[in-house]
Chain A
């Protein structure tokens, strides 16, 4: 009879010691971040309110912002759009490996295997109507505005990178390190995923995305921005009268970016 009691007493001692050690450990690991969690929860609530307010006042489902890229006008080696994007959104090369730096827009050089025909084009977030990144995002941080612009809510992105796995265009980047010298209008942050915002901060002020503006200034006019839903807009007219294509049209994601010449 006494042996089980001993065993039970030893077990209680062990349990007590384990509980004390666990409590001490948890004190360090849980309490301090707990304060942070409350802050983030509050920040997130504010963000949601701000976002819904912005949606109410600036983004309308009547509009579908989009872009038409004429690859026949896009010059090989020209990176005006990439430079303008980097300047506008304060994107600098990171201090790590090149593969860890963010690229919201990049130039892709294509060579047709059968004919050798060469094409140069800019590639960025295609702002899909049925965006896979929005579908897979566990917290809803990847979202589509009423006007079709696909964005990442920096306050609710947990940095799981599932959207990067799902994007067919390799359009998203993960911020691998602390950032400095940011544009206040374009918040970015370590540990979050980001991609082309279609310069939403400019569009909401009635301006064009920086890449489109730079392409026009460089006299290439390979990029055309506008409202796909407005039949009177130049982009809608061009799409209605010219053969255009979507990248990975087979996936039927209805991207907002169209291409000419591929």
Chain B
């Protein structure tokens, strides 16, 4: 096995995946969000293929295929349909502005480096240096989810976070056992579908998909 090459490729791949996550912080149109998510998923599937090749683990090919179909084709398709339906909605005023978002996300990635230090030290996989980036992506996805006001942006934040988890599982353990992996895909799909249904409900009930109007329920 060509370990240095594999190691470099996986670090490069993880960095690209993380960058696609950070794009969400400074782009505003929903279209850019969806594109970022789609390309992120594509890179992630390629990384699964690379890891599968270098580690001789053919189950990963199947996982890569499922991931590609689900996250690079099906989900972006539905997201685009929603985008068309609601017109060109922009995330005009997120709770945190672009500059602070970028600084905060940098700090989140640093935090990820701190908390995953023991993992990187213990692991002897060639992919280990990407683990902090995966954890960073999880945090960035979470950050997008809590600071955006549009329901669709929140969904994309959630999906990016899911990608981060998939990346973490890939880099740390070459993927979880296949039965778990498939179950997770099913859950992501179902979860996405139910969220999508709710976006339509929110639109018809509140006549907007800004979630900060939701303030009926207090005590």
| A, B co-complexed | no
A residues at B contact (CB < 8 Å): none
B residues at A contact (CB < 8 Å): none
